[in-house]
Homo-oligomer: A and B are copies of this chain.
């Protein structure tokens, strides 16, 4: 469908200031309004409107035929979404927390990502699998996972991570309209971090480009999800010390837009990659590897990775010991400046 497709009402969110989770809700609402094949399924998404209220009011508005509370079974949710997508619908499935996404992997790896390829285009699988991810909300075990790297490795998938209300809205609408399967990971720690007004020109944001949130010349800070907030904070701290940092929100982890990142590092010669996920074999590894492999000559200091540890997220009492923060990012940035001095 064309990006300029008519929206219900001529300015549905005029003036409204929205949180990230509000924006998710609004994107679902608008896509359901403009395309009758868009349906929602998941646990507690109907009457309850989702445990984070991401689907609130949609059951009332579009009925239980299009907003389906499923039995408690993640494999089923993913597999059913695959079957719906192969038979003409655009399902948006919710996995209540990323910690419960693993049961969906067989359907993502062995089916969703391969249907088009397997049938040489006869069938396709335009589904979106949404899941809140990341830590920092003092939740019980399994409610703080960041295992996006496992998904980013899967050929045929798209993996998208918004980090602002506008990007949540624009990327989710594009994800729903995308003809291929998209895993859409929502940083729940910043679901309600701040309210912003949306702008029409960003109703549909591209799924294969990074977003440069702040320009700078001395060091490139690359991140996604909730840590975008910490990274922007770090950029401010660095500015106070006279260091000009460029901040890139990767947003789409697969496919990966290395051009934007490489172009920035070409200029700055220094790069710090920030993610909450466990360090080893995280998405940061691929980015760091490509920078070195393709940008080696322009690098003035080794790439730094500021990440979670290779441990499970500790129970919430010690969670803060695990989560990278602005101070860690600043320190890493300064190391690259010393190294490259």
- A interface residues, Cβ below 8 angstroms from B: 75, 99-100, 102-103, 105-106, 109-110, 113-114, 117-118, 141-142, 147, 149-150, 152-156, 254, 256, 277-278, 280-286, 288-289, 291-294, 296, 299, 302-305, 309-312
Q: Name 5 interchain pairs, CB-CB below 8 A, sorted by A.
A: A75-B103, A117-B311, A117-B312, A293-B302, A293-B303
Residues of chain B within 8 A (CB-CB) of A256 are 280
Partner of A293, one of B110, B153, B305: B305
- Whole-angstrom distance between the Cβ of A134 and the nearest chain B Cβ: 16
Pair B280/A153 contact, Cβ less than 8 Å: yes
Beyond A102-B110, A155-B310, A286-B289, list 8 extra A-B contacts (CB 8 Å).
A118-B141, A147-B154, A153-B278, A155-B309, A280-B286, A292-B292, A292-B293, A293-B305
Residues of chain B within 8 A (CB-CB) of A117 are 311-312
Pair B285/A296 contact, Cβ less than 8 Å: no
Among A110, A118, A149, A281, residue most surrounded by chain B Cβ atoms (within 10 Å): A281
Determine the distance from Cα of A50 to Cα of B204 in the docked complex, in whole angstroms. Answer: 51
Partner of A292, one of B281, B282, B303: B303
Residues of chain B within 8 A (CB-CB) of A289 are 284-286, 288-289, 292, 303, 305
Pair B114/A312 contact, Cβ less than 8 Å: yes
- Whole-angstrom distance between the Cβ of A224 and the nearest chain B Cβ: 14
